Chain A
């Protein structure tokens, strides 16, 4: 019994290290590779190295590295929460895990219907990845969601899902869906089809990026203000950051925590709405019934 307990504890510690170590790695990487800069600095993700490719060089940037760190961290968290599942007198972490699963399944059932219940794991993956990516800026790291490449990747994934569910009634049904409700609206329908992933990517990325740009501008402005007021004092007192204490933190609560979580929720909600809206449920089941009748 005691030996089992010790193994359980050891595995727990490994999982906890899996949660924490990636973030520490990211911070160390940032400290080691950050170029010296002063004053206002709004720049994209830092490029670590390039992999030569036939059409265009593949850039390995801070955004990709950070998003992989978040993925490893979430994997550790999930393994930690589901470690040691029991059917009787369940532990606290199992309560949390069950709560997450129940909430997400209810959400998916409410907004997509019973047919799409298998989507709940995909939705919770998007929620977690997007939310924790935005929260990464609390550690001073570059949030991957403020790089359009990462978010556009997710949006393209959602677009593929939408197209797959539109194809459920065969290619003819897919082409027909563009000519609805009237035939001459076809070009507009094609434009709106293409606009879906673009608007999803821009919405998420624009919100997170605008938050970080405003934070940098406010921090720089406060620095200028405190140097105006305290600048005439000699030595250390002249550089004392009077206004930078506390004020940027209030902004950070809105832009990093609230806005990031809200955007994750909205991205997941839009995914659910688009995918369930793209599926021609009645036609599909009518067709299925017909095929069944033909067989029998």
Chain B
């Protein structure tokens, strides 16, 4: 029975981490749009390349934040949560 409980904990953590990383879609699309527009802008005005590139990198970094939240949660679920949850289970059983 205990093995089953621990197995459910580990499986749940892994599934949760995988589901959390679905959030990677959003920043991917957003950054792709940003880079596409930046390419267009550079094509139209090649002399403004420096300013456009730095602004684009800045915007990309801000757009990446939601993806990084998901990444942090996934890392916590894989490397930190199983230990804590198993400890909680052990304490509950006694």
Point out residues on A near B: beta carbons under 8 Å.
42-43, 199, 202-203, 205-207, 209-210, 213, 262-263, 265-266, 269-270
Q: Is the CB of B75 within 8 A of A203?
A: no
Q: 8 additional contacts, CB 8 Å, given A203-B61, A203-B68, A213-B75?
A: A202-B65, A202-B68, A203-B65, A205-B72, A210-B75, A262-B61, A266-B57, A266-B61
Q: How far is the CB of B90 from chain A (nearest CB, A)?
A: 22
Q: Is the CB of B64 within 8 A of A203?
A: yes
User: Complex formed: what's the CA distance from A270 to B61 in Å?
Assistant: 10
Q: How far is the CB of A268 from chain B (nearest CB, A)?
A: 11
22 residue pairs of the A-B complex, CB under 8 angstroms, read A42-B79, A43-B79, A199-B69, A202-B65, A202-B68, A202-B72, A203-B61, A203-B68, A205-B72, A206-B69, A206-B71, A206-B72, A207-B68, A210-B68, A210-B75, A213-B75, A262-B57, A266-B57, A266-B58, A266-B61, A269-B58, A270-B62
User: Complex formed: what's the CA distance from A171 to B47 in Å?
Assistant: 46
Q: How far is the CB of A152 from chain B (nearest CB, A)?
A: 12
Bin the interface of chain B by size.
10 to 19
Closest to A266 in B: B61
Residues of chain A within 8 A (CB-CB) of B65 are 199, 202-203
The 6 lowest CB-CB distance pairs between A and B, nearest first, are: A206-B68, A266-B61, A199-B65, A206-B71, A206-B72, A203-B65
Q: How far is the CB of A138 from chain B (nearest CB, A)?
A: 22
User: Complex formed: what's the CA distance from A203 to B69 in Å?
Assistant: 8
Residues of chain B within 8 A (CB-CB) of A205 are 72
Residues of chain B within 8 A (CB-CB) of A265 are 57
User: Complex formed: what's the CA distance from A205 to B75 in Å?
Assistant: 12
Residues of chain A within 8 A (CB-CB) of B57 are 262, 265-266
Q: How far is the CB of B75 from chain A (nearest CB, A)?
A: 7
User: Complex formed: what's the CA distance from A203 to B71 in Å?
Assistant: 10
Name, among B57, B65, B79, the residue most crowded by chain A CB atoms within 10 Å (CB to CB). Answer: B65
User: Complex formed: what's the CA distance from A121 to B65 in Å?
Assistant: 27
User: Complex formed: what's the CA distance from A165 to B71 in Å?
Assistant: 32
Known A202-B68, A202-B69, A203-B68: A209·B61 in contact at CB below 8 Å: no
Q: How far is the CB of A272 from chain B (nearest CB, A)?
A: 11
Residues of chain B within 8 A (CB-CB) of A199 are 65, 69
User: Complex formed: what's the CA distance from A274 to B71 in Å?
Assistant: 24
Q: How far is the CB of B48 from chain A (nearest CB, A)?
A: 14
Residues of chain B within 8 A (CB-CB) of A43 are 79
User: Complex formed: what's the CA distance from A42 to B75 in Å?
Assistant: 10
Q: How far is the CB of B12 from chain A (nearest CB, A)?
A: 20
Residues of chain B within 8 A (CB-CB) of A203 are 61, 64-65, 68
Q: Is the CB of A209 within 8 A of B69?
A: no
